[in-house]
Structure 1
Amino acid sequence: MIADVLTDAETRMDKAVESAKEDFATVRSGRANPQLFQKVLVDYYGTPTPLAQLASLNVPEARSLIVTPYDKSALKAIEQAIRDIPNLGANPTNDGSIVRITMPELTADRRKEFVKIVRTKGEDAKVRLRGIRRKIKDELDALKNDVGEDELARAEKELDAITRTHVDAIDDALKRKETELLEV
């Protein structure tokens, strides 16, 4: 029983770490990256649809990205959805068949602002991990009548170790992203 609860904790924490890494990828650094547009929803015939389902994304140069829609009638909606992305600073241009996005050079102030955003996302991910830990601890406490106190104490120590490992993984990803953002 305890092993199942701890396995569930590890699985849920792994998902939280992956989610944090995906969140970090959505903050732009100096280069164009298709992951920046991973969570963009386009109003396609009244339905919010992920951009990746409507178009292919190519990076021909370090600071430009080309969006080629599968359906040319979605071109205006794609362009508008990209224009509505907060903190991107890019102005997409539409030539009738593709949308070209040129990423502007980041200023030092803008880089620092992005570092703050990434740190906030990292702290949010750690809060999610602590929430998972709290729920798992409650599940372990519910097993108190079925298992001995020694086993429960060992399980709590193991839960703390699992949590610490995942918090460290988020910190490592955060440091890598900060380094990437501050690199000129």
Structure 2
Amino acid sequence: MAITEPILKEAQERMKKAEAALQRELGNIRAGRANASLLNRISADYYGAQTPLNQMAAITVPEPRVLMVTPFDKSALKEIEKAILASDLGISPANDGSAIRLVIPQLTEERRKELAKDVKAEGERAKVAVRNVRRDAMEALKKGHKDGQFTDDQLHQLEDQAQKLTDQAGKDVDAIVADKEKEILEG
């Protein structure tokens, strides 16, 4: 559907941003598999400045449940290890002198269900964001109608388009959530 109305274009962009934010949040949820994005939020002290791990080390996945953190500067190894220990990951790093191995433990069934609930909650937050975008777009359209920019028929068409955008974004969010839930529950 080609969208020509700037209000709807902006709404569509904001809905896509809500979906992207959901993807980022879900990337931080540990699903029992090694994923380099698990370490995205962790920063270590590097010469007096908090530096994200992915800027000071190569993060690889040599095995399905193992993350390997190889610092570019070996002197930063201890600081990286401290940062991982201090994080909320709940994973103990194994330092071999040149790299740090993180073995991702297998998730229990109970923990999987908890994570699935968290995923659903994130999905619901994304849907709320999408609905808020729709509300803003509808208000802008009604204001435009009141100001004489749109006729009644145009307003109804644009409102229908806004609703279709919202419905599609909702389906996209549902698909993202379903994929992540499946990943978590299958482990």
**What is the TM-score of this pair, normalised by structure 2?**
0.89
Map of 1:57 onto structure 2: 59
Whole-Å Cα distance in 2 between the matches of residues 126 and 59 of structure 1?
32
Give CA-to-partner distance per residue, 1:116-147, whole Å, 9 cap, x none.
Answer: 11111111111211222222222222212222
Find 2:179's aligned residue among 154, 176, 180.
Answer: 176
Change (3 A) 1:85 1:125: farther
SS in structure 1 opposite 2:50?
strand
Report what 1:108 is aligned to.
109
* Comparing 153-162 and 143-152, the one that deviates more: 143-152
What root-mean-square deviation, in Å, do the aligned CA atoms of Structure 1 and Structure 2 show? Answer: 1.9
| CA deviation profile, 1:24-60 (whole Å, cap 9, x unmatched) | 1211112111122223333334433322111111111
Matched residue, 2:136: 135
SS in 2 for 1:39: coil
Specify the alignment match of 2:78 in structure 1.
Answer: 76
The one of 150, 160, 167 equivalent to 1:147 is 150
SS in 1 for 2:69: strand
Q: Relative to structure 2, which stretch is displaced further, 69-78 or 116-125?
A: 69-78
Are the structure 2 counterparts of residues 169 and 63 from structure 1 closer, same or farther at C-alpha, using a change threshold of 3 Å? same
User: What secondary structure sits across from 2:150 in the alignment?
Assistant: coil
2:163 matched to 1:166? no
Say yes or no: does 1:92 pair with 2:93.
yes
Is 1:125 matched with 2:126? yes
The one-letter code matched in structure 2 to 1:65 is L
Cα shift at 1:20: 0.7
Percent identity of the aligned residues? 41
CA 150–48 in structure 1, closer or farther in 2 if over 3 Å, else same: farther
Provide the C-alpha distance between the structure 2 equivalents of 1:101 and 1:74, rounded to a whole number of angstroms.
Answer: 16
Match of 1:48, SS? strand
The DSSP-based 3-state class of the residue aligned with 1:27 is coil
| Contact 1:89 1:104 (C-alpha < 8 Å) held by counterparts | no
Gaps of 5+ in 2: none
Q: Equivalents in 2 of 1:112, 1:84: separation in Å?
A: 25
Q: Please give the alpha-carbon distance, in whole angstroms, between the structure 2 residues aligned to 1:28 and 1:34.
A: 10
Task: Find the partner of 1:9 among 8, 11, 15.
Answer: 11
Aligned partner of 1:80: which letter? K
Aligned residues: 183
* Cα distance in 2 between the residues matched to 1:46 and 1:139: 48
* Residue segments in structure 1 that go unaligned for 5+ positions in a row: none
Q: TM-score, length-normalised on structure 1?
A: 0.90
